[in-house]
Amino acid sequence: MDKSTINWIEKTTVVQVAMCSLLTILSIVILHFVFPGIDTTENSILEDAQAVAITLAMVVYGYYTVKQQHKIATLGFVLLLFSFLIRELDVEEFTRLPDVMRYYLGKEGKPITMVVTWGGYLVLAGIFLKDKLFKLKSFLHTYEGKLWICAFVVLVFAQLMDKNILHMINHENRYFEEFWELSSYLFMFAASLFHQDNRH
């Protein structure tokens, strides 16, 4: 591979994201042959690892939300990660939580919580971020932005497994779904580590 090709790859976000996502997906396929017996049932160690990765990313973005002068953008990341967290956790089974929390963060009340929180956030974002939308393109070319794109690409593949739209080796969709979701959340955590105070 000549130097001009290498430079083109280094500067092209789409190529970088595609390569990163493809390598992640292929790595999970290879992992299936190396460790075929990993538990992928509900509340398994894989789902616990997913929750940990999401929580770590929330902590990092939460730190920047408190620290930064312009908080709305990072607050959006926190809210997005919170949405993923309550999606992965069966909160209604956490008997030590108050009933009201178990309801509004559980399966029945979760849609209400999401509508209220995201509705409120979008109002704030419309007020405070309307003049910053032009920065979105430049954000997508940062390491943080590229990692977020990778996260969503891999997460889409995981959802295709979950909905049985795609079928993998021996139809073990659950295996690939859980590992790709974990990979996606690790990308999000990595993205949070590349966040910069003065970006938004």
Domain residue ranges of the chain, discontinuous segments joined by +: 16-193
Q: Which amino acid does the sequence have at 143?
A: Y
Length of the chain in residues, anyone? 200
Residue-by-residue DSSP string for 72-100? HHHHHHHHHHHHHHHHHS-GGG-TTS-HH
Distance from C-alpha of 63 to C-alpha of 58, rounded to nearest angstrom: 8
| pLDDT tens, per residue, the chain with 200 residues | 455 544 544 456 566 666 776 777 666 666 655 555 565 566 567 788 898 999 999 999 999 888 877 678 889 999 999 999 998 888 888 888 888 988 988 888 899 999 999 999 888 888 777 666 667 777 888 889 889 998 998 899 888 887 777 666 555 667 778 888 888 999 999 999 988 754 44
pTM: 0.78
- What's the pLDDT at 94? 82
pLDDT at position 128 is: 73
**Confidence at residue 171, expressed as pLDDT on a 0 to 100 scale:** 52
**Which amino acid would we find at residue 127?**
I
Note the pLDDT of residue 200: 41
CA distances from 72 to 4, 30, 107, 115, 129 (A): 40, 40, 27, 18, 8
The answer to whether residues 178 and 155 touch, using CB atoms and an 8 Å cutoff, is: no
The pLDDT value recorded for residue 10 is 46
